[in-house]
């Protein structure tokens, strides 16, 4: 497929995004990491810079473009802070400092901007994260739809980072709770379905990762944002060269999210979560991990599947359906939901 213009699919976080990122960045840049740190080739949730004594700084950036800026369950500030913490957490880092860069449309209400920044601040305060500085720009009326909030996170990794390529055959996949709620909330807002009661799950998942680290029951982790668990599981599979089998009956999804997905024809497994994590652990630690998560607020944590030696030429993700069938859970394609995060 030859394209000469950027499409919404290029930004949806699925198949087309991956292709474009490889074409524009991975194939083009020469220097892609510092020492044995994580960089552009790995395309993990954070990059790392080794700083000696087995420690690294983890660094991540995301530009949030979510529409609407205020949504059921949060706003763009809460989303930016949560997403940044989550990108650090899933690599095994403890967040220490953030920077931000906000671009606002001329005429945007000052009180809304204060509300957004206050949401961001509340989460930084809660996790004792410093804000070191940032940038602030204004674009003339009609040249930007409201606001883009870019958030940069810096964390400290003690020991080896939890990379996506750490998954081995036999490992178990745990989810911390019901998936797809953020995507469903944004989709409902964008479609004007105000009677659909679905709230974004947007929040830091660092507490779950800390539980798993304390138990030494974590080999890899991902927050399933753009492209949902379909994308996240395929990234594990491709980077670790394993097949992954997940069981539909085990995957927690809220009833209202399921209903909205059916109504709109969107695959629930491609819908973004912003407050859940997939945690990969060895099979002998999985039950202990799930119990610890459930005892500590993640009441719907579940073992949803496992990794296996690939049966075909290409690693794949398989979904065992409720009715007993098996379907390949592909990397999501197409436009999905625009401006989800």
Task: Establish if 154 lies at the interface with its own copies (CB under 8 A).
Answer: yes
**CB 212 to its own copies: min, Å:** 24
Among the listed residues 54, 68, 126, 137, the single contact to its own copies using CB under 8 A: 137
Task: Establish if 215 lies at the interface with its own copies (CB under 8 A).
Answer: no
Task: Establish if 71 lies at the interface with its own copies (CB under 8 A).
Answer: no
Task: Establish if 105 lies at the interface with its own copies (CB under 8 A).
Answer: yes
Task: Establish if 11 lies at the interface with its own copies (CB under 8 A).
Answer: yes
In whole angstroms, give the CA distance from residue 224 to residue 269. Answer: 9
Nearest to 200 by CA among 210, 186, 214, 213: 186
- How much is the CA Rg of the chain, to the nearest whole Å? 19
In whole angstroms, give the CA distance from residue 304 to residue 245. Answer: 8
Choice between 79 and 257, CB closer to its own copies: 79
Name the one range near its own copies by CB under 8 A: 118-126, 169-177, 212-220, 289-297: 118-126
**CB 4 to its own copies: min, Å:** 5
Task: Establish if 34 lies at the interface with its own copies (CB under 8 A).
Answer: yes
Within 177-196, the residues that bind its own copies by CB under 8 A are none
Nearest to 303 by CA among 200, 217, 239, 181: 217
Task: Establish if 84 lies at the interface with its own copies (CB under 8 A).
Answer: no
Inter-CA distances, 325 with 21, 218, 302, 319, 322, Å: 34, 30, 21, 8, 7
Choice between 103 and 259, CB closer to its own copies: 103
Asked if 278 contacts 205 with a C-beta cutoff of 8 angstroms, the reply is no
Our measurement of the distance from residue 278's CA atom to the centroid of its chain's CA atoms, rounded to an integer in Å, reads 9
Choice between 17 and 273, CB closer to its own copies: 17
Nearest to 202 by CA among 233, 173, 223: 223
**CB 48 to its own copies: min, Å:** 8
Among the listed residues 54, 68, 132, 170, the single contact to its own copies using CB under 8 A: 132
Among the listed residues 19, 117, 193, 259, the single contact to its own copies using CB under 8 A: 117
Number of CB atoms found within 10 A of residue 130's CB: 12
Residues facing 110 on adjacent strands: none
Query: For residue 329, with 0-12 CB atoms within 10 Å meaning exposed, 13-18 middle and 19 or more buried, which class applies?
Result: buried
**CB 150 to its own copies: min, Å:** 5
Choice between 54 and 297, CB closer to its own copies: 54
Query: E strands within 200-296?
Result: 220-222, 243-247, 278-281
Inter-CA distances, 61 with 21, 84, 134, 154, 183, Å: 15, 7, 12, 9, 20
Show the binding pattern over residues 226-265: x = contacts its own copies (CB under 8 A), - = does not.
----------------------------------------
Within 13-32, the residues that bind its own copies by CB under 8 A are 17, 20-21, 24-25, 28-32
Task: Establish if 99 lies at the interface with its own copies (CB under 8 A).
Answer: yes
**CB 145 to its own copies: min, Å:** 4
Task: Establish if 122 lies at the interface with its own copies (CB under 8 A).
Answer: no
Tell me how many degrees the CA angle 27-29-31 measures, rounded to the nearest 5. 125
Choice between 28 and 323, CB closer to its own copies: 28
Task: Establish if 39 lies at the interface with its own copies (CB under 8 A).
Answer: yes
């Amino acid at each position: 497929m030859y394209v000469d213009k950027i499409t919404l699919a290029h930004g949806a976080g699925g198949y087309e995004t991956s292709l474009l990122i490889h074409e524009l960045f991975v194939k083009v840049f020469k220097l892609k990491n510092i020492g044995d740190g994580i960089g552009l080739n790995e395309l993990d949730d954070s990059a790392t810079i080794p700083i000696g004594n087995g420690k690294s700084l983890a660094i991540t950036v995301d530009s949030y473009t979510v529409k609407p800026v205020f949504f059921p369950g949060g706003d763009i500030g809460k989303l930016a802070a949560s997403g940044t913490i989550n990108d650090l957490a899933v690599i095994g880092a403890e967040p220490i400092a953030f920077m931000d860069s906000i671009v606002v449309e001329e005429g945007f209400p000052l009180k809304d901007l204060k509300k957004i920044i206050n949401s961001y601040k509340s989460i930084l305060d809660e996790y004792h994260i410093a804000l070191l500085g940032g940038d602030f720009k204004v674009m003339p009326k009609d040249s930007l739809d409201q606001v883009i909030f870019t958030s940069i996170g810096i964390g400290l990794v003690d020991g080896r980072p939890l990379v996506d390529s750490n998954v081995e055959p036999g490992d178990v996949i745990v989810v911390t709770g019901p998936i797809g709620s953020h995507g469903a909330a944004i989709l409902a807002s964008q479609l004007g379905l105000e009677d659909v009661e679905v709230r974004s799950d947007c929040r830091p998942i660092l507490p779950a990762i800390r539980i798993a680290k304390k138990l030494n029951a974590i080999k890899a982790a991902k927050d399933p944002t753009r492209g949902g668990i379909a994308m996240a599981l395929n990234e594990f599979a491709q980077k670790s060269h394993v097949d992954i089998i997940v069981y539909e009956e085990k995957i927690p999804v809220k009833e209202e999210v399921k209903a909205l997905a059916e109504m709109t024809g969107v695959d629930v497994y491609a819908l973004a979560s912003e407050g859940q994590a997939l945690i990969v652990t060895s099979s002998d630690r999985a039950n202990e991990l799930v119990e610890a998560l459930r005892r500590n607020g993640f009441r719907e944590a579940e073992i949803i599947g496992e990794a296996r030696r690939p049966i075909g030429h290409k690693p794949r993700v398989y979904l065992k359906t409720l009715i007993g069938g098996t379907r390949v859970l592909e990397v999501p394609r197409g436009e999905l939901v625009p401006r989800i995060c």
